[in-house]
Structure 1
């Protein structure tokens, strides 16, 4: 147990009355020769970006599009070609959640800074727009080296001044201004910056070559499905761009709920159905072991930090995997009362509402959890279909586009089990399904190896900086 004695006057002197141990421990260490935050950095003020500036294709990154190495995997957006999978990006941008950057800027995540999702802006990514959930910094000297210091020498200090909430740490601009930097260390890095930079540049060149081999998982999934079933994604992409087309009155009367939306009647949707129906006459309802089920609602009193079960919200599945979060632990009584909304390995959870509609996650591990009311559970009959095959099929561009055209609503759009169960489902032998799953996993594994190699190289940069400091020359 760590014990620290702090005067009440010290706590009261801090505007937000912070009482966390690491923060006060850090403040007591600020002795000796130091550089203040303002001597090394400035915080770049947010400037308004008009939507008229985004009148063609552009790149945009949220925190979730950054990995732990600080590499960016931007979304390619175009307001003229909005789609379901990226709708949440468009909505946030429309609300002003967007910043522009320039070369040598540094971005520090305000949410979970402990994950090291920090970005260094270089020529290759200075045209990317980013979410304003980053703190936007501009270094006044050796920006490349100071960026890597945030990932190594500055890291413990950064986490110490972060605010430790129940769920995860957060950081704000005022907190960041509290940082102090050892003057001897900074002067040492400044003295050796040419040598350090040359070593870093050599490693970064190798990293750039490896990054050229990286593919998004959705591209891998689409490639495997298109090769196996000869899906024509080129024609599909062209049809999606067509905004004006003619419809007969019978096109409206032939759907059960008289759908009039242009999106529902697009030629691209008819093309997807045509391609899928050419290879199967089965629907999802033919492959489920029980009806597709909506999740359970929850109130604040149902959460219990000492609980053993989790609430699987839409935020939990935003990365297309189940991410268990200790801030989402629920009480034993709530879990027992909603046991019919629990999950087990092999279940597929699909977001059915809001901007995340269509996002799909696969339950790999055995744990106690209740899925949220804005999601639905698809439980596949394992004797008829491989659940992992269904999961990857649900993540394909064709399936996601069906969700996009069949969803309903003005403000809050929804899609329901009665609709999902009628979507086409590819019907091939389970052995062939497994081959497709194996191929997708193999391609993803290759990508993971590349990412692992990049992590190793980036770790060497941290070592270069630490060795310079330890050597003291």
Structure 2
């Protein structure tokens, strides 16, 4: 438990009455001033922008088409409104009217950087009731400059200290506290000059984003071409349908199950598309049986001194192994489990449980000391095949939809197991063809990576422009 000492005088000097330790430490130590090193005078955010009255539209059909600002589909810490809205004619919940807003701030998870500016004067705007609309107090304020100033990491860290709420996804910053924060008073001519440069960089970033495709979409497209499969028909499997099946057919199946996805005809359509090619079960391509990982107790972790990592389901992020984000285990635990549950280069780790994680895979690309968890499975492809081909195949919907079909359980507690996975059908191609498919996928993914790196570079350039202005 963290304890922080404050005074009633400090608490009483604020417009919002907050007693929690993290908040008091942030506010009492920093005095609402995230930027310390600057030669400029400070003013409050409230001196720049004014909060507008809240007006709402009710859920249901809208009288006219509106532009919806959707936080969940928006890139955090960017806030370019023109890239964040979509036209809608109905809404599933009450929305805030944002028509007059020039600056829009999400009080929910504000520390992630959901601050938007309406440089393009977009109209008919609506958004979540978590969004607060603001307007400039005076004309000589450059919206682009102010947006990026308020999105500096210094401010995001400060918003985190001001948040209140029980769960990470529901933490909010009170607008009263936000408006009391101090910002460097940058002259308008400098704001305007830097704002112009940033808008040029943002236009270049928009062009770069056109080159960035979802990695699994790239994999699907290349496999679709190689295997002459209409992937749109494959993806249509995800659409809801109804069907009838007789009990005799269910009785004759390998696994006596009544679940919709396991028995649905549309999954047979997927299997028939795969079966147009030479197909073998996964067990024909592996060196040794598919293994479940090792369980662990809290006393087995050693994040301070441990060298070996523990690969849990949370270690699989963006279809790769997040080594830095994985916990460390003690030397004793590693030595005890390394014979049965260690990994080596070329292994594929598959999450076997939980909605949102089930079926996600990571390829082990280096020889590292690690133990994989009991809610993951290790697939060790034989030396006569390219493990990267299988990794990319596992990432594709040819594999992921079969996971959807085969998984068992209710709600978030779904699972699939080695005895199911070993029967998954794999399109069999020669080693040369495997290598060629891998080469095509990685060439496209490298282009995406280059575009992503260029985006990071331009974001850093924007950050540097703002920081130079407030020195």
Q: Identify unmatched segments of 5+ residues in structure 1.
A: 1-5, 77-93, 164-168
1:272 aligns with 2:280: no
1:369, distance to aligned residue in structure 2 (A): 1.9
Once structures 1 and 2 are overlaid, which stretch shifts more, 28-37 or 273-282?
28-37
1:91 is aligned to none
1:398, distance to aligned residue in structure 2 (A): 1.4
Cα 1:413–1:325 change in 2 (3 A) is same
Distance in 2, matches of 1:120 and 1:62, equals 14
Asked if the contact 2:33–2:182 (Cα under 8 Å) also holds between the matched residues in 1, the reply is no
Cα 1:215–1:327 change in 2 (3 A) is closer
Cα 1:337–1:51 change in 2 (3 A) is farther
1:157, distance to aligned residue in structure 2 (A): 4.9
1:382 is aligned to 383
1:398 is aligned to 398
Of 239, 242, 246, 1:241 maps to 239
1:34 aligns with 2:42: yes
1:274, distance to aligned residue in structure 2 (A): 1.1
Asked if the contact 2:45–2:182 (Cα under 8 Å) also holds between the matched residues in 1, the reply is no
1:370, distance to aligned residue in structure 2 (A): 1.9
2:335 is aligned to 336
Corresponding residue SS for 2:350? strand
1:263 aligns with 2:261: yes
The count of corresponding residues between Structure 1 and Structure 2 is 425
Cα 1:294–1:67 change in 2 (3 A) is farther
Corresponding residue SS for 2:250? helix
1:291, distance to aligned residue in structure 2 (A): 1.1
Cα 1:387–1:350 change in 2 (3 A) is same
Cα 1:237–1:323 change in 2 (3 A) is closer
1:23, distance to aligned residue in structure 2 (A): 8.1
Distance in 2, matches of 1:439 and 1:49, equals 49
1:400, distance to aligned residue in structure 2 (A): 0.4
1:368 is aligned to 369
Cα 1:345–1:252 change in 2 (3 A) is same
Distance in 2, matches of 1:197 and 1:177, equals 26
1:382, distance to aligned residue in structure 2 (A): 2.3
Distance in 1, matches of 2:317 and 2:9, equals 39
TM-align CA RMSD: 4.5
Cα 1:407–1:444 change in 2 (3 A) is same
Once structures 1 and 2 are overlaid, which stretch shifts more, 361-370 or 218-227?
361-370
Asked if the contact 2:311–2:326 (Cα under 8 Å) also holds between the matched residues in 1, the reply is no
1:261-340 correspondence to structure 2 within 5 Å: 261-306=259-304, 307-325=306-324, 328-339=327-338, 340=340
Distance in 2, matches of 1:28 and 1:194, equals 26
2:461 is aligned to 460
TM-score (norm 2): 0.74
2:14 is aligned to none
Q: Identify unmatched segments of 5+ residues in structure 2.
A: 12-18, 62-67, 87-91, 137-141, 162-167
Asked if the contact 2:308–2:334 (Cα under 8 Å) also holds between the matched residues in 1, the reply is yes
Asked if the contact 2:344–2:367 (Cα under 8 Å) also holds between the matched residues in 1, the reply is yes
1:289, distance to aligned residue in structure 2 (A): 1.2
Corresponding residue SS for 1:297? coil
Corresponding residue SS for 1:105? strand
Cα 1:22–1:177 change in 2 (3 A) is closer
Distance in 1, matches of 2:175 and 2:343, equals 40
1:224, distance to aligned residue in structure 2 (A): 0.6
Of 192, 213, 218, 1:220 maps to 218
Corresponding residue SS for 1:389? helix
TM-score (norm 1): 0.73
1:435 is aligned to 436
1:148, distance to aligned residue in structure 2 (A): 1.0
Question: Bigger radius of gyration, 1 or 2?
Answer: 2
1:371, distance to aligned residue in structure 2 (A): 1.8
Asked if the contact 2:300–2:333 (Cα under 8 Å) also holds between the matched residues in 1, the reply is yes
Once structures 1 and 2 are overlaid, which stretch shifts more, 231-240 or 370-379?
231-240
Distance in 1, matches of 2:194 and 2:212, equals 27
1:368, distance to aligned residue in structure 2 (A): 1.9
1:284, distance to aligned residue in structure 2 (A): 0.4
1:47, distance to aligned residue in structure 2 (A): 12
Deviations 1:33-78 (A, max 9, x none): 533455557899999999978xxxx997659x8477679999x9xx
Asked if the contact 2:310–2:326 (Cα under 8 Å) also holds between the matched residues in 1, the reply is no
Asked if the contact 2:42–2:182 (Cα under 8 Å) also holds between the matched residues in 1, the reply is yes
2:425 is aligned to 424
Corresponding residue SS for 1:269? helix
Deviations 1:343-394 (A, max 9, x none): 22211111111112111111223322222222111111122x2111101000
Distance in 2, matches of 1:155 and 1:353, equals 35
Structure (1/2) with the larger strand percentage: 2
1:342, distance to aligned residue in structure 2 (A): 2.0
Asked if the contact 1:349–1:360 (Cα under 8 Å) also holds between the matched residues in 2, the reply is yes
Asked if the contact 2:313–2:376 (Cα under 8 Å) also holds between the matched residues in 1, the reply is yes
Deviations 1:381-424 (A, max 9, x none): 122x2111101000111110001011111231111111111011
2:248 is aligned to 250
Distance in 2, matches of 1:407 and 1:158, equals 40
Distance in 2, matches of 1:329 and 1:193, equals 46
Deviations 1:80-100 (A, max 9, x none): xxxxxxxxxxxxxx9x9x998
